[in-house]
Amino acid sequence: MGRYVVRRLLQMIPVFIGTTFLIYYMVYQLGGDPISAMFGDKGADPVFVRQMREEFHLNDPLIVQYWYYITDLLHGDFGTSFNGRPVADELKRAFPVSIRLAMIAFAIEVVVGVGLGLLSGLRRGKFVDTLVLAGTLVVISIPVFVLGTVAQFWLGSEWGIFEATATVGDATWSQLLLPGIVLGSLSLAFVARLTRTSVAENMRADYVRTATAKGLPRRRVVTRHLLRNSLIPVVTFLGADLGALMAGAIVTEGIFNVDGVGRLIYLAVTKHESSTVVGAVAALVMIYLVMNLIVDLLYAVLDPRIRYA
């Protein structure tokens, strides 16, 4: 088990180098001159442009630029953005917000999603099942910006149940509640449907029949045997989803004024700030990899037949 984890951690190194290089390459390929663009429609000061291009190594070939970046990174330096501020500060500011938002969305997704899935899986074909299926279908088919804007207008502005916009800089938990619900709702629908199918399938499994035949109380059969085994596909989905919740929340972040990672990356891409984009994406990649590892380890918890040597 320990050896397995070490092996997996070592595998992360080439993945990390590969992804950072790819992202660096992609930003490089965007073309355009980010420094001249700082002057808008007006003519740029050639001396300023020259100095900035030299400072940020923009005249060097891609591989040299990447080398500067990766060596700095190994020294713990995430580089600086064009305005001279350290990228590390930007990351330190954006990540906690996105992590909080993702945690709210994730918690809702897990609790409500698995709950609803279990409920409808156990009562397959009944009214509750139909209701959950129809409800999740509606959520899946509505684009998130419609859902977000409508929720913001009614639940936030009009009825005042939730706060409609978050404060940039330090979004509080309560301000992130509504965006978290909106963000989690799509995945919630998927989780509910996955759980439902899985539960309904396993209901007919031999071990469930055995457990029932042993005379175990229904509650124990459902939680210890049925649900535990049914969660494997759900956990796989959830593990990958956590990363998506953090990076892919740009639409939701925009509606609710949440200044998180999605927005940080978007703005950095428009400004062609390689160091910010790569820094943020690299951190996300690490989160993905770690989450994947945790998911794989969770398999062993959920299904005793799985062992890691």
Partner 1 sequence: MRGTTRVKWVVGMAVLGLAATACGSSDDDKGSKGSGGGLPAGYYSASSTEPQNLIQPANSNETGGFYPLQLMFRGLYTYDSKTGQPVPAMAQSVESPDSTNYTVKLKPGWTFHNGEPVTAKSYVDAWNWGANSENKQINSSWFAKIEGYDAVHPENGAPTTKEMSGLKVVDDNTFTIKLTQAVSSFKASLGYVVYAPLPQEFFKDPKKYGEAPIGNGPFQLDTANGGWNHKKSITVKKYDKYVGDDKPKSNGVRLDMYTTYDAAYTALRDNKLDVIDQIPTAAVGSFKKDLGDRAIEAPQFSIQKIGFPLYDAGWGAPGKEKVRQGLSMAIDRASIVKAIYKGAEQPATDWLAPNIPGYSKDITGELTKYDPAKARELVTAGGGIPGGKLTIATNADGPHKEWVTAVCNSINEALKQPGACEPKLYPEFSVARKDITDKKMTGAYRTGWRADYPFPDNFLADVYLTGAASNDSGYSSPVFDDLAKRAMAAPDQTEGVKLWQQAEQQMAKDVPSIPLWYYVTKAGSSTKVSNVQFDPYGNPVFTEVTVK
Residue ranges in the chain assigned as alpha helix (H): 2-29, 34-37, 46-55, 62-74, 87-108, 114-122, 127-141, 144-151, 173-202, 206-213, 218-220, 228-247, 250-255, 261-271, 274-302
Tell me which of 11, 130, 174, 223 binds partner 1, using CB under 8 A: 174
Q: From the CB of 33, what's the least distance to partner 1, in Å?
A: 5
Tell me which of 193, 196, 225, 263 binds partner 1, using CB under 8 A: 263
166 binds partner 1 (CB under 8 A): yes
In the bound state with partner 1, the residue whose beta carbon lies nearer, of 111 and 137, is: 111
Instruction: Write the DSSP symbol of residue 156.
Output: I
In the bound state with partner 1, the residue whose beta carbon lies nearer, of 18 and 143, is: 143
Taking the alpha carbons at both ends of the chain, their separation in whole angstroms is 5
In the bound state with partner 1, the residue whose beta carbon lies nearer, of 6 and 168, is: 168
What is the identity of the amino acid at 127?
Answer: F
Tell me which of 109, 129, 259, 273 binds partner 1, using CB under 8 A: 259
308 binds partner 1 (CB under 8 A): yes
Nearest Cα neighbor of 266 from 101, 147, 90 is 90
7 binds partner 1 (CB under 8 A): no
Tell me which of 178, 221, 249, 255 binds partner 1, using CB under 8 A: 255
**Cα–chain-centroid distance for residue 83?**
28
Distances (CA, A) of 166 to 8, 91, 170, 242: 38, 18, 8, 21
Binding site for partner 1 (CB under 8 A): 1, 30-34, 36-48, 51-52, 82-85, 89, 93, 100, 103, 107, 152, 156-157, 163-170, 172-175, 253-259, 263, 270-272, 294, 297-298, 300-301, 304, 307-308
